[in-house]
Amino acid sequence: MGFCAYKVVINNLSSNKISKFNMYGLTETVTGGFFSGPDDDSHRIGTIGKPVDCKAKIIDENGQELPDGMSGELLVAGDHIMSGYLNAKEATDKVFLDNWFRTGDIAVRDSEGFYTWIGRIKSIIKPGGIIVYPEEVTEIINKYPGVLETVTFGMPDPVFTEIVISAVSATSGTMLKENDIMEFCRVHLVQNKVPKRIYILPKLPKGRSGKVQLEEVKKIVLATIDSTETYDNTALIDKVRSVAANCFKVDAKSLSMETLSEATPGWDSLSHLELASSIEKSFNIKLTVSEVMTIRRLKDIVNILEGKNI
């Protein structure tokens, strides 16, 4: 299943005007889909327009149609929609719901019938159970001066299940710094959507169609982690142990990074809150509720701090 979006500019010689319109469709929708433009009445900046020669609706995870203003999966139906994949009944059944084709895209419709594309369902990242659309993060980073292109994705994490990662390439002659881009993200994104890591690569690998090859990017990032991120974090561990010892009223040397909270002397519900508050003060950070709730070992605190580039 492939998503296609085009911006087309037409020079109308008779009126000496330039018309612009966006087109949205998939391989399975053949030639039809959504059009924003070319005239002013049918053009809405930031949207994929309205369905042409087909019907569309937005549904939730239970298959129920959603009202305007609520995001969900985009479904389409019409004569130009494919009837099925060749010799693949099971695959065909998965993408049809009562004769409606499931695009796999997240979208929202406004009160005037214009649809806005948000992202792909399979690309959604869920750090600590929070839904993050990688396209939203990518769009923000691409606005940073000197950024040529960006791709954002999720990576497994022992604390948050998944964390947000972005890989960035720079325009020619530009030197980018991870911390600068991170600060830019903190200004323009809510905390839960700010990437835990930003990797600046010479270029983003692409296939013959010109699309960024996400799996290749992930391999590069993993190789970068293996080669450059094995550093000595002894000082960070010692400071976390010292803060915890003060909260639990125990000798710091008795505390292990791996011991679970319920097996650690002095670590009860009240001291847990004191620990979270003390970590915030000691490292000048703000912990989210989900971060506080996922702390079960001192090692979890170290992982959180490393994720915040402490």
Q: How far apart are CA 266 and CA 16, in angstroms?
A: 78
Q: How far apart are CA 46 and CA 279, in angstroms?
A: 42
Q: How far apart are CA 217 and CA 236, in angstroms?
A: 30
CATH architecture, domain defined by 234-307? Orthogonal Bundle (1.10)
Q: 260 or 100, which is more confident? A: 100
Q: How far apart are CA 282 and CA 284, in angstroms?
A: 6
At residue 58, does pLDDT exceed 90?
Answer: yes
Q: 264 or 161, which is more confident? A: 264
β-pair type (33-36, 17-26):
antiparallel
At residue 114, does pLDDT exceed 80?
Answer: yes
CATH architecture, domain defined by 3-122? Roll (2.30)
* DSSP 8-state symbol, 171: P
Angle formed by the axes of helices 178-188 and 134-141, nearest 10°:
120
Domain boundaries, the chain: 3-122, 131-228, 234-307
Say whether 234-307 and 3-122 share the same fold.
no
At residue 7, does pLDDT exceed 70?
Answer: no
Other C-beta atoms lying within 10 Å of the C-beta of residue 223: 10
Burial bucket for residue 106 (CB in 10 Å: 0-12, 13-18, 19+) = buried
* Backbone dihedral angles phi then psi of residue 162, each to the nearest 5 degrees: -140, 150
Q: What is the C-alpha end-to-end distance of the chain, expressed in Å?
A: 41
Q: Is the peptide bond before 38 cis (omega within 30 degrees of 0)?
A: yes
pLDDT, position 128: 76
Worst-scoring range by mean pLDDT, 19-28, 62-71, 220-229, 271-280? Answer: 220-229
Q: Give SS3 for 235.
A: helix
β-pair type (197-200, 161-170):
parallel
Rounded to the nearest integer, the mean pLDDT of the chain is 86
Which CB contacts under 8 angstroms, 24+ apart, belong to 55-58?
A: 56/109, 56/115, 57/100, 58/107, 58/108, 58/109
pLDDT, position 9: 37
At residue 73, does pLDDT exceed 60?
Answer: yes
Mean pLDDT, residues 85-90: 93
Region 131-228: CATH code: 3.30.300.30
Burial bucket for residue 151 (CB in 10 Å: 0-12, 13-18, 19+) = buried
